[in-house]
Structure 1
Amino acid sequence: MSVLFEEVRLSLPHLEVAAHLYGPDDGKPVIALHGWLDNAATFSRLAPRLQGLRIVALDLPGHGHSDHRPIGAGYNIWDYAHDVLQVAEQFGWQRFSLLGHSMGAIVSVLLAGALPERVERLALIDGVIPYTGEADSAPQKLGSALEALLAVNDKRKPVYASFDQAVEARMKGVGAVSREAAELLAQRGLMPVPGGYTWRTDPRLMLPSAMRLTRAHALAFVSRVACPTSLVLAEQGLMMQPELLELVESFPFDIRRLVGGHHLHLDDDIGAEAVARVFNSFLHD
């Protein structure tokens, strides 16, 4: 599959991030955010199908070709909101829309709730709010995270003898994907090392969260979203648990259920086209 995009690096005040640029220079501004352990290639099927938009598909820090956060810094989900704002500043965008998948969708909701005046529209794919935790579990959660942080330097990332072995492993990972989708993610996400290939991702991304928002925190962010929001739910995705589905369907969002897995926008052309039909009309209304 051949798509036209521009590869860029953006020097933010705190680190450098890589991105793919799609669409005309004068298109409506959109920042696209991928899911956990993915990269900008997650939008390689969808972005070319979205018309009249200037899409900046990021490798979030710690992912793909973007810098890892400095030693001592963490990967709290709300920190990505700051990264996105800095990217918008680079392009001179006071208002912009967000296209987010999974973790990227969660970051989008957090930013739209925190600074509703900056976000014009939200286009979300199989993600809305983070995993939550209540106050009584916070001490144990922090303790586990601190112990894991102490041990992180002793862990080695897996090395795959061949590109195909890495692709097969990604197919079976969190949010299982098609072979073509795994190949697209791997082409951007792998790097050669002695003995084969390993992922570019920062090992600290695998650490448990030190703190989680409570359910009340998460719902407060949703309640502050002031822009039109379109949410695509994958029928074979990660949000079909009855309790979560009931909660999400109570949100004031336009919700569309589509056939496909968690990466339906990347797994095949049929899924990408179905998502594009939803978002093309929505992002231009």
Structure 2
Amino acid sequence: MRAFKECLLQVNDRNIAYLEYQGAGFQTEETTVKTVVFVHGWMDNAASFHKLLTIIEQQRLSWRVLVLDLPGHGHSTHKNSDHFYSFYDYIDDLHQVLVNLQAVNAFLVGHSLGALIASCYSAAFPENVAGLVQIEAHFPMAEDPIQAVSRLRKGIESRERWRNKKRRALPSFDDAITMRMRATKLDARSVRPIVERDLQSVDGQWYWRHDSKLKCESVYRMSRPHAEAVMSAISIPHMVILGRSGYGFLQDKLVLEKLHNAQVAWVDGDHHCHLESPDRVFELISELVNKN
């Protein structure tokens, strides 16, 4: 991805890392080309879009493209030791990135967690978003209010386990590849760029870069009416891309029927279908971006 420049944006006391591609015609003061912002999923990083970025390079598109490392992921700074990555804080992080990088009327493309962040942001700030593409996600994570107390307990207990856990080195780089292959059901070639961006060598040993607090459970989730209210507020052009072998709960017909304002498209692949069917996924993204 030679055309993509490694960049850092300072936000308060930390840095958010991102890749940037400036297509022909981009102007810094007033953007004359379309800006497309990619937001990755939980435990992934900007490199999880590497096949789509390669297509953008090959086609020499006129878009401005920003590909984020969410806080605690990839090359972005970890938040402080008392911060456990609330879902809602990610929405604020995205807002600060868009404002500081002058990403006016951006098209948001999110995968999994990134798709949920992008949808909530699009609902709350439609004036800042020109279009939304969600890959293997749609409604925000929600559950019955009766589970609120057990959710709170499990979340706090997971934090306590984290405090008592020591950092461990990985056996080898190849072991890291194997671990990601098992977690994602992807082949080695697909996961390698993600792993490379998430590893660091310290004194001859390999360690994950990502913040281990990311694995702590949430202490709160929306109720289903809250999630439905968010999705019904999305008024911009909206597409949901689902893998035919992806998460089953995303394919529930009763849930999909509630996506009144979204176009739903199916592609071959599992949860990381954008890495398994990159040409088709890019085609769908390009259709939405170029029509609006």
Query: What TM-score do you get using the length of structure 2 for normalisation?
Result: 0.90
Offset, 1:66: 0.3
Offset, 1:172: 0.6
Kindly indicate whether the alpha-carbon contact (under 8 Å) linking 1:249 and 1:255 is maintained by their aligned counterparts in 2: no
Matched, 1:244 2:252: yes
Question: Which residue number corresponds to residue 275 of structure 1?
Answer: 281
Taking the aligned partners of 2:192 and 2:53, their CA distance within structure 1 comes to 17
Matched, 1:130 2:130: no
Q: Which amino acid aligns with 1:19?
A: Y
Tell me the alpha carbon deviations over residues 74-121 of structure 1, each in whole angstroms, 9 at most, x when there is no partner: 211121111111111112234211010111001111111112222110
Question: Which residue number corresponds to residue 100 of structure 2?
Answer: 90
Map 1:246-265 onto structure 2 (within 5 A).
Answer: 246-251=254-259, 252-265=261-274
Taking the aligned partners of 1:75 and 1:176, their CA distance within structure 2 comes to 26
Tell me the alpha carbon deviations over residues 12-49 of structure 1, each in whole angstroms, 9 at most, x when there is no partner: 13521000112413531122100000000011111342
Question: Which residue number corresponds to residue 100 of structure 1?
Answer: 110
Question: Which residue number corresponds to residue 20 of structure 1?
Answer: 19
Taking the aligned partners of 2:189 and 2:2, their CA distance within structure 1 comes to 14
Taking the aligned partners of 1:143 and 1:263, their CA distance within structure 2 comes to 31
Matched, 1:71 2:56: no
Taking the aligned partners of 2:249 and 2:163, their CA distance within structure 1 comes to 36
Offset, 1:158: 4.6
Tell me the alpha carbon deviations over residues 146-182 of structure 1, each in whole angstroms, 9 at most, x when there is no partner: 1221231221345322111100000011x32221121
Offset, 1:245: 4.3
Taking the aligned partners of 1:14 and 1:214, their CA distance within structure 2 comes to 33
Taking the aligned partners of 1:247 and 1:39, their CA distance within structure 2 comes to 28
Query: What TM-score do you get using the length of structure 1 for normalisation?
Result: 0.92
Question: Which residue number corresponds to residue 231 of structure 1?
Answer: 240
Query: Which secondary structure state, in structure 1, belongs to the residue aligned with residue 210 of structure 2?
Result: coil
Runs of 4+ aligned structure 1 residues displaced above 6 Å come to none
Superposition RMSD in Å = 1.8
Offset, 1:282: 1.2
Query: Which secondary structure state, in structure 1, belongs to the residue aligned with residue 51 of structure 2?
Result: coil
Question: Which residue number corresponds to residue 199 of structure 2?
Answer: 190
Query: Which secondary structure state, in structure 1, belongs to the residue aligned with residue 127 of structure 2?
Result: coil
Question: Which residue number corresponds to residue 218 of structure 1?
Answer: 227
Offset, 1:246: 3.2
Q: Which amino acid aligns with 2:228?
A: L
- Distance verdict in 2 for CA 1:176–1:53, change over 3 Å: same
Taking the aligned partners of 1:164 and 1:65, their CA distance within structure 2 comes to 20
Kindly indicate whether the alpha-carbon contact (under 8 Å) linking 1:23 and 1:48 is maintained by their aligned counterparts in 2: no
Tell me the alpha carbon deviations over residues 192-239 of structure 1, each in whole angstroms, 9 at most, x when there is no partner: 23563121111110001000011111111100001001111111112x
* Residue segments in structure 2 that go unaligned for 5+ positions in a row: 28-32
Q: Which moved more, 1:3-12 or 1:218-227?
A: 3-12
Q: Which amino acid aligns with 1:224?
A: A
Kindly indicate whether the alpha-carbon contact (under 8 Å) linking 1:95 and 1:120 is maintained by their aligned counterparts in 2: yes
Taking the aligned partners of 1:257 and 1:276, their CA distance within structure 2 comes to 13
Alignment match of 2:46 (pick from 40, 50, 60):
40
Alignment match of 2:66 (pick from 53, 56, 73):
56
Query: Which secondary structure state, in structure 2, belongs to the residue aligned with residue 80 of structure 1?
Result: helix
Kindly indicate whether the alpha-carbon contact (under 8 Å) linking 2:35 and 2:104 is maintained by their aligned counterparts in 1: no
